[in-house]
Amino acid sequence: MYDVEKIKKDFPIFRQRLNGRPVVFLDTAASAQKPLCVLDKMRAVYETAYANAHRGSYAFAEQITTEFEAARQTVQKFVNAASAREIVFTRNATESINLVASSWGEQNLCAGDEVLISQAEHHANLVPWQNICAKTGAKLVVFPIADDGSYLKDEFEKHLTEHTKLVAVTAMSNVLGTVFPIKEMAERAHGFGAKILADACQYAVHNIIDVQDWNCDFLAFSGHKTYGPTGIGVLYGKAEIMENMPPYQFGGDMIDHVTYQHTTFADIPARFEAGTAASVQAIGMAEGLKYMQALGLENIAQYEQELIKYTVERLNEVPHLTQVGTAKGKGGVFCFDIAGIHPQDLAFVLNKENVAVRTGHHCAEPLVNRMGYTSLARASLGLYSTKEDIDALIAALCKAEKFFRES
């Protein structure tokens, strides 16, 4: 049985009170809070076994290297990759996508080629492709989504052509909550000879990922969203593709042999991990993933689906509130607007009520504009979110709505 109150106690940050009241944290889509097991593990590594991974031959170095590579295996199992060689550690998902754009893109794109993305992309899965298309002469093509934020299969297939070399699409929108059918899209893309990259930053927080079942060529997500630390991300890539990709950055630990005249490079994944590894962060991320797996990804998804329904119903009770992104089967992300109240003003009042939400264009400005807004408020769920959190949000929204109407 999913005991969310017990789970919430695993997160030290929720033990504190502000002005004598608990904090209602509804911004997991931006960055998740950290369970004690992650904090304890990272502290233990720093206190008892810290060294530079893959560098020394003494006890600390050997221990942290072992734990660092064990973290890679944990990530491999989390996404069901065929091999740990297919897991590259980066600083974040943004760097993962930039790595593919730079390394794969510069080598494989040229004038006449197309990169296909959706209207629902985060800047991290849009701007790198704009940049690489400008460098290579390729064309960036954007396929539309529906007014309610739904994925439009016909539009995707209409824009997928023999010129498409890569499809880069979010698995779950950070603004709309829309879940995209990556497996189905991968099958269609491969039918045209194109590769597919999935931005799984939001999806990984709530659902099971199986890269072999999806048959995606690349996938990216970040540690800080999956209950781990900042400064660590993941790039999954099929081995047969990454083996033919040149390095993204150059320096220590990504080389095979170096002379003053010539350098040869290491095999994957080391080829893409130049410099001192964020080893403690990788180990911390692995603890976050294991925490999720111990709870059961199916259990988390089932619990959150019930909470999503409850949240949608309760938001509908707030006067003059419009929910933006109402696709069937959406994830736990809720962007909304209250007529006549700027989202930043709304967030100011909510903060006074100890309710934490995010406002702005959520690093997806073209998408927010496409939905008819310049700024939106956003509440998002985590595995520790409760109905009481949603009730507190609704009470604060109603209070804010009444305040601004009367002022």
Q: Are 25 and 380 in contact (CB under 8 A)?
A: no
Tokens of 31: 């960055």
What is the Cα–Cα distance from 173 to 168, expressed in whole angstroms? 13
Tokens of 7: 């789970």
The secondary structure of residue 178, as a DSSP letter, is P
Q: Are 197 and 213 in contact (CB under 8 A)?
A: no
Q: Are 189 and 117 in contact (CB under 8 A)?
A: no
- Written as one letter, the residue type at 320 is H
Cis, bond preceding 22 (omega within 30 deg of 0): no
The enclosing H or E element of 195 equals strand 195-199
3-state DSSP call for residue 185?
helix
- Written as one letter, the residue type at 34 is K
Q: How far is CA 98 from the centre of its chain?
A: 14
The secondary structure of residue 100, as a DSSP letter, is I
* Cβ neighbours around 153 below 10 Å, total: 12
Angle of helix 59-79 relative to helix 279-295, nearest 10 degrees, comes to 40
Catalytic residues: 363
